[in-house]
Amino acid sequence: AQKVTQAQTEISVVEKEDVTLDCVYETRDTTYYLFWYKQPPSGELVFLIRRNSFDEQNEISGRYSWNFQKSTSSFNFTITASQVVDSAVYFCALHHPGNTPLVFGKGTRLSVIA
Amino acid sequence: EPEVTQTPSHQVTQMGQEVILRCVPISNHLYFYWYRQILGQKVEFLVSFYNNEISEKSEIFDDQFSVERPDGSNFTLKIRSTKLEDSAMYFCASSDRVPGQASYEQYFGPGTRLTVT
């Protein structure tokens, strides 16, 4: 079974705080891809990152960083020094090779308060 | 940069009416998808389409739904007789294989918000 769990439904932080969004996935396959998308209030899905199952190196992009741990089937997302513009719903998703659908988690709504 | 476009951005319709949601995928992509997101919920897969036929569909995609690629550019989702519970954001996506990888990168359109009254 393929499943993505984002246990945090809503998180609220004060601007400049760091925040980590959790993502745990389930799959039987050894090859898969993990994604994070941002959905701002306007509703579109903004691609943030894709990571394949063979690359466990952590990645940093500006204030964003991702921690991929196969041992715990987790792909967590950290925003450093959060800003009001980071307020959005964030979705983690799982994809298997080929022409297959993305499996999304339920999303975490992040509110950054000035 | 090429992008997936969707029209209209917002559609309001009465229960029982037929609606057609339109998508223009990225021009050289061969795989097309529709996803649905009911307000406040997760994004759910509806159907995938390749080579002029459905490759895979979810249990949500019942007989009320159909997809079509009527010409070389458009990809449409038709809901034959809308119900209140069809109110949602509908996302179209298209994909192509990532060079050197087994992954098919899916590019999402901005979505069509469907409101059924």
- In chain A, the residue whose alpha carbon lies closest to the alpha carbon of B39 is A43
d(CA A86, CA A18): 11
Of the pLDDT bands very low, low, confident and very high (cuts 50, 70, 90), residue B94 is: very high
Reading the block at residue A67, the tokens are 């921690």
Half-sphere exposure of B36 (CA within 13 A, CB side): 18
What is the least distance, in Å, from the CA of B44 to any CA of chain A? 7
Q: Residue A20 pairs with which residues in a beta bridge?
A: A78
Give the pLDDT confidence score for residue A1 in this predicted structure. 76
- In chain B, the residue whose alpha carbon lies closest to the alpha carbon of A54 is B101
Whether chain B has a CB inside 8 Å of the CB on A40: the answer is no
State what percent of residues in chain B have pLDDT above 70. 95
> Tens of pLDDT along A5-52?
999 999 999 999 999 999 999 999 999 999 999 999 999 999 899 898
> Tens of pLDDT along B28-62?
888 999 999 999 999 999 999 988 899 999 999 99
Of the pLDDT bands very low, low, confident and very high (cuts 50, 70, 90), residue B99 is: low
Q: Is B41 helix (H, G, I), strand (E, B) or coil?
A: coil
